[in-house]
Chain A
Amino acid sequence: MEGTSLIAWMAWTWQTAIFFVFVASCLIAMTIWELRVPGGGPRRGILGLDTTRGDRLFITLLGSAYIFLAWLGIMGTPLWAPFGISLVYGFAVFRWA
């Protein structure tokens, strides 16, 4: 991606590209899920909130971001541990929240 490229100013790296592809795939997967099982599966979980699966995805992503930031701020790298915690957290949110 040289200076002549239209998106060169965005300074892409393959790592950040993977991140955004992951976010986009989440959104696409959620859309397909919604089309197959409409209604969003609303329920009241252990957080005491009425959540749909879109809310649960948001809570998962936001919470995971904080897990990573907290780990970086307190422990530093490497980030395998917060990655594992985030997966467990995400599973818990989708299962019980």
Chain B
Amino acid sequence: MNKQINQKAWLLVLPVVVLVAFNAVIPLMTVVNYSVQETFGDNVFFWEGVGWFEQVLQSPRFHDALLRQMLFTGLVLVIEVPLGLIIALAMPRKGFWVSVCLVLMALPLLIPWNVVGAMWNIFALPEIGLLGKGLNNLGFDYNYTRQPVTAWFTTVLMDVWHWTSLVVLLCYAGLVSIPDDYYRAAKIDGASAWAVFRYIQLPKLKRVLTIAILLRFMDSFMIYTEVKVLTGGGPGNATTFLSIDLDKMALGQFDLGPAAAMSLIYFLIILLFSWLFYTLMMRNEAQ
């Protein structure tokens, strides 16, 4: 039987295409236009060529922000993915506690990002915050508003608190979808808990784990609101990640040309990694 080719379905996606055109494509085109010009306001522009790209790519400021961003994303992935997997494995599969655990896990995800930043800002304050005051009373020298290391510690801890649940929920969904027959077969063969994890659960979780890593990578690479509220990129530039740096450049200094160039470079980095993850995911699936 010949497969019918019906192109009318394209009409149904037209509203989305129009929506995306107005909220993504046209602003992106404008950013491209800004990136090759200099403006002092009043909608007057001067041609600059690729000068801004050259300036951004060769500036130590951009290199540092990129390095901090990669370190942050790396740390977040290294902590959140295994932790999320462990929590998902430890969660009950049947009974009353399932809903309790799921609701508890979903709670951090429901809180607006700026509220998360504000909560942690107060929670970690060395004079009055429970975490800050507590750590200082225990004898640690903790002040995230002044020490880069503790600012990093607080930022990473906040992200882990906020987003590990996402990994947990994805892994849990993957785990409950494994048919019981696999576990029965493993039991008959006398497989150890480790063998069950290694040869049944982990391969079955490959897909959700890839999605979890992709989501966490993109979100943490674009992190802005929480850090902006928690540390504002400080102390000094210690937690100035790419988006915070971009914000300082575009809105703080009103350097629209360099900021546009940096946005495009930032966009290309995200695009490359997203494509890589997507390709890997599709390849795994095909296999």
Q: List residues of A whose CB falls within 8 A of some B CB.
A: 3, 8-13, 15-16, 19-20, 38, 49-50, 58, 62, 65-66, 69, 72-73, 76-77, 79
Contact B54 A19 (CB under 8 A): no
Q: List 5 A-B contacts (CB under 8 A).
A: A8-B43, A16-B32, A49-B283, A72-B53, A79-B50
Which 4 pairs, one residue from A and one from B, show the smallest C-beta to C-beta distance? A73-B57, A11-B33, A10-B30, A16-B33
Q: Residue B253 at the A interface, CB < 8 A?
A: no
- A73-B283 contact given A9-B30, A10-B26, CB 8 Å threshold: no
Chain B contact residue count (CB 8 A cutoff): 28
Q: Residue B79 at the A interface, CB < 8 A?
A: no
One digit per residue, 1 when the CB lies within 8 angstroms of any chain A CB and 0 when it does not, for chain B 24-37 equals: 00100110111011
Contact B43 A62 (CB under 8 A): no
**Bound-complex Cα distance A10 to B22 (A):** 13
| B residues less than 8 Å from A79 (CB atoms) | 50
Contact B50 A77 (CB under 8 A): yes
Contact A49 B279 (CB under 8 A): yes
Q: Residue B265 at the A interface, CB < 8 A?
A: yes
- Scan residues 264-279 of chain B and give those whose CB is less than 8 A from a CB of chain A: 265, 268, 271-272, 275, 279
| A residues less than 8 Å from B177 (CB atoms) | none
Contact A76 B275 (CB under 8 A): no
Contact A62 B50 (CB under 8 A): no
**Bound-complex Cα distance A13 to B30 (A):** 10
- Scan residues 1-51 of chain B and give those whose CB is less than 8 A from a CB of chain A: 5, 26, 29-30, 32-34, 36-37, 39, 43, 45, 47, 49-50
| A residues less than 8 Å from B53 (CB atoms) | 69, 72
Contact B275 A62 (CB under 8 A): yes
**Bound-complex Cα distance A62 to B45 (A):** 28
Name A73's closest neighbour in chain B (CB-CB): B57
- Checking A11, A19, A20, A38 against B45 with a beta-carbon cut-off of 8 angstroms, the contacting residue is A11
Contact B50 A11 (CB under 8 A): no
- Choose among A10, A66, A76 the residue with the greatest number of B CB atoms under 10 Å from its CB: A10
Contact B272 A11 (CB under 8 A): no
- A72-B50 contact given A10-B30, A62-B271, CB 8 Å threshold: yes
Q: Residue B192 at the A interface, CB < 8 A?
A: no
| B residues less than 8 Å from A11 (CB atoms) | 30, 33-34, 37, 39, 43, 45
